[in-house]
Amino acid sequence: MMNSCKVFHKFLSNQIIHRFKHYDVIISGGGVVGLTMASALANNPLLIDKKIILLERGKDMEQSNISYKSPVYAITIRSKELFKKIGAWNIIKKNRFKEVQRMQIWDSFSEANLVFESNDMMSAIIYIIEQDIIISALKQTLSSPLNKNFELKYESDINQYAYPNNKNMDEVEVHLSNGDILKTQLLIGSDGYNSLIRKTKKAPCFEWDYEQAAIIATLNLSTFDSQKYGDEETTMSQSQENMVAWQKFTPHGVVALLPLNSTQSSLVWSVPHLHGHDNKLMHMNEEMFVDELNKTLWNANIENERILKLESWMDKLLDVLPFENIKKRRINTYKQFPPRITSIQEGSRMKIPLKFMFASRFVWPRVALIGDACHRVHPLAGQGLNLGLGDVECLQRILADSLCSTCNIGSHAQLLRYQTERLRHTVPIITAINVINLLYSKTYKSSFDDLSHTGLPAMSAITRTLGLQMVDSSQYIKRISYFCQLKYTIHACGTEKMPNLLLYHIGAS
């Protein structure tokens, strides 16, 4: 009887050891932002001895090199520097990515356009990379033998979280569906827009539906093309020159083309639900869809007498202003034409509903949110993932600082530093993006004829036109914004370059 009790006691002890596991950091969500967070922590010399686990409810997917099918992201130089710092960039370079040397925006209601490029017109300003290539590179950095304290666990269903609520419980408990209970000093939520962590913490959020959908597809381009754009005839060779990102604001949404290689680009077409236009585009056959897209990109502008007069007046004003940099910019600016689409890659067309969400809090005791778990924005500025990667860089830096100042890794004071810094950075960007979307959505909800009358749609079009002209003409404005962001970038990543994507899109408003 005594021996039986000893055996049972040993069995019970083993089960308890199996069920309760302790980690310094638990990351919930294994998308790009979650994997980058794990890699940033695992590769930081100050955090290398910390026990970290990443939990992902989905299955581990293998990278496909056959064709461009996964979502693609526009990665800023700052985000690239973060990838370099954690060792992922060299792996990405061995796969495939595309440098963008120039960005061009224009509006259907005027001749105004905004061009952004590097000073030498040869350097990249953003990089277009597929989601699965980024994920594959990050997983390879985490599989290094040096990261012996890191675990990556797929197919991990989380039943519930238990948060610190009294003096007797100073850790977060993560209860898995298989019965395991994981304890941690810091829980990082990167579990996306429908974040279970954010919902269980009942974080107050600003949320609304944009009443738009993003139509995504991989486009095949014409190598040589002749087209008439307005009153001009042009012949272009696309085979060597597909290094321009295009964005056009139209009555039927924002069309963006991101180059993938010499003959392919990725489409992001933000289409309003109004009149079911998004559903019509999804149900069109390939030939009709391509015709509609080419017509949207190439058709002449919708002329409005009031806007044309104001545009002409602004041109004359800019010509007489005594600023050499403005005149030089206007003389050297040249117009390029968008590529012509010949077909779309089979199976690449999809539709994603567009919603806005911004959490008023990013942190609680022992808990921090990053990426889409705390903010989701319209894709017109291409800032969604870059904002999430900014969260990663900021949080890992503050966590490392907290250890240097003898605080524990989940110190609430340090987490509040992270929240303050990120709110200061994200709120202006997200506000600017929503203002731009608001200005253009007023056009979606009106007919073309409304622009001939006084009203908000007409004023929105006028404001956009003047903004484009002013920002594109003034190198001084761009330089001010560049240096303001440069200071932040050097502090964050040690880089010496950063494209002014925010100003680029503010100018469009």
pLDDT tens, residue by residue, 195-225: 999 999 999 999 999 999 999 999 999 875 4
Average pLDDT for the chain: 77
With a cut of 50, say whether residue 229 has pLDDT above it.
no
Do 108 and 250 form a contact (C-beta atoms < 8 A)?
Answer: yes
Residue 91 has pLDDT above 80, yes or no: yes
Half-sphere exposure of 437 (CA within 13 A, CB side): 24
Q: Is the model's pLDDT at 162 over the cut of 80?
A: yes
- Supply the pLDDT for residue 76: 92
Pick from 25-34, 355-364, 431-440: least confident: 431-440
pLDDT digits (tens, 9 = 90+) for 258-312: 999 989 999 999 998 877 888 999 999 999 999 999 988 887 555 555 555 655 6
* Domain residue extents for the chain: 16-508
**CATH topology for the 16-508 domain:** FAD/NAD(P)-binding domain (3.50.50)
Whether 390 has a pLDDT exceeding 50, the answer reads yes
| Per-residue pLDDT at 422 exceeds 60 | yes
Residue 509 has pLDDT above 70, yes or no: no
Q: What is the pLDDT of residues 433-472, one digit of tens each?
A: 888 787 776 554 444 334 333 343 455 555 555 555 444 4
Span 328-333, mean pLDDT? 46
DSSP 448: G
**Which is higher by pLDDT, 184 or 315?**
184
Average pLDDT over residues 134-139: 94
Stretch 349-357: mean pLDDT: 93
> What is the token pair recorded at 108?
């259907």
Per this entry, what is the length of the chain?
A: 509
Confidence of residue 315 (pLDDT cuts 50, 70, 90): low
Look at residue 13 and tell me whether its pLDDT is greater than 50.
no
Q: Check residues 63 and 140 and name the one with the higher pLDDT.
A: 140
Please, which pLDDT band fits residue 174 given cuts at 50, 70 and 90?
very high
Alpha-carbon dihedral sign for residues 119, 78, 380, 137:
positive
CB 409 within 8 Å of CB 402:
yes
- The conformation of residue 279, written as its DSSP 8-state character, comes to H
Contact 361, 195 (CB under 8 A): no
pLDDT at 480: 40
pLDDT band at 27 (very low <50, low <70, confident <90, very high): very high
Per-residue confidence (pLDDT) for residue 446, from 0 to 100: 45
The alpha carbon torsion through 384, 388, 389, 390 (nearest 10 deg) reads: 100
Strands (E), 222-320: 224-229, 232-237, 244-250, 253-259, 264-272
